[in-house]
Structure 1
Amino acid sequence: MKRGKRIWLVKPSHLPVRVMTGAFILNSGYTMRSADAAAAGRLHGFASGTYPGLRKVDPQIFVRLLSGGEMLLGAALLIPVIPSAVAGAGLAAFAGGLVGLYFGTPGMRRQGSIRPTEEGLGLAKDVWLLGIGASLVVDDLMEWTRR
């Protein structure tokens, strides 16, 4: 973004949301790296219940890939030279997977409703990440079309 003689790689208004979400996701991925076999099995079982293709992946490998993906996404959000549209697209894709877990896992929603149960509240909140990612993409695309 160009303002006067200064060229911004990322809009200053994007920085707070990118730093907060990026730090949270980076920490989540870093923490997940130390998951033991039992934790990896639980996480893998939960994810493969909604996404059956994941059943073919070893639980330990799944957790390593998920951990690495989260750390990569968190870093992309934190590094200001990566355009917000790119980081936002990654965030929206990741959050879309989490929201898919919410809708696809039995017991996460109240019967006949999109409202969460107590068990589903943690996943339902991930819709905010989807909104943040979509907002970053849309805002950057609108900025690019104005140039």
Structure 2
Amino acid sequence: MRLSNAILRGVSGAYILQSGLGKKDLPLEAYEGLQGMAATGIPQLKEWDAKTFGQALWLAEVGVGGLLLTPFVSKRLAGLALTAFSAGMLTMYFNNNEMTQDDGIRPTQEGTPLSKDVWLAAIGLALVVQSKG
């Protein structure tokens, strides 16, 4: 594995893994809040049980983080997983009017924490593109 790939995978993988582990034992009210936010991007998530949603969320984050941190997982698979994960996160950003300014792209103060997921999407895409070369 090239150093550039190790850096891309290590930083993003550790960040997502830590985020997932931090959600493992949240109270039901916290899962309900996360679910409400996620439903702004993917409305079908409203139909899920909040506890089931919370468990699926933290397991998905730990899974994506683990894929990125595991050296024998291909760049392509790790990149596709990260791209899909960040695309899901960005749906909340772009589908919530409070997150973007009037142009629908630049973040508001509330949108800045979610807008950072564009960096994760770029890292995922870079890993996919590098896997073809």
| Same fold by TM-score greater than 0.5 | yes
How far apart are the structure 1 equivalents of 2:42 and 2:70? 31
- Structure 1 length-normalised TM: 0.87
Q: CA deviation at 1:55?
A: 1.3
2:68 maps to 1:80 = no
In structure 1, what is the Cα distance between the partners aligned to 2:116 and 2:4? 23
Higher Rg of the two aligned structures? 1
Aligned to 1:69: 60
C-alpha deviation, 1:37, in angstroms? 0.9
Partner of 1:43: 34
Letter of the structure 1 residue corresponding to residue 101 of structure 2: R
Maintained 8 Å contact 2:94/2:104:
no
TM-score, structure 2 normalization: 0.96
Q: Which amino acid aligns with 2:131?
A: D
Is structure 2 residue 80 aligned with structure 1 residue 59? no
Runs of 4+ with deviation above 6 angstroms: none
Equivalent position amino acid for 1:97 in 2? G
Unaligned 5+ segments in structure 1 are 1-9, 143-147
Percent sequence identity over aligned pairs = 36
Q: Secondary structure at the match of 2:102?
A: coil
Instruction: State the number of aligned residues.
Output: 133
CA shift for structure 1 position 113: 3.7
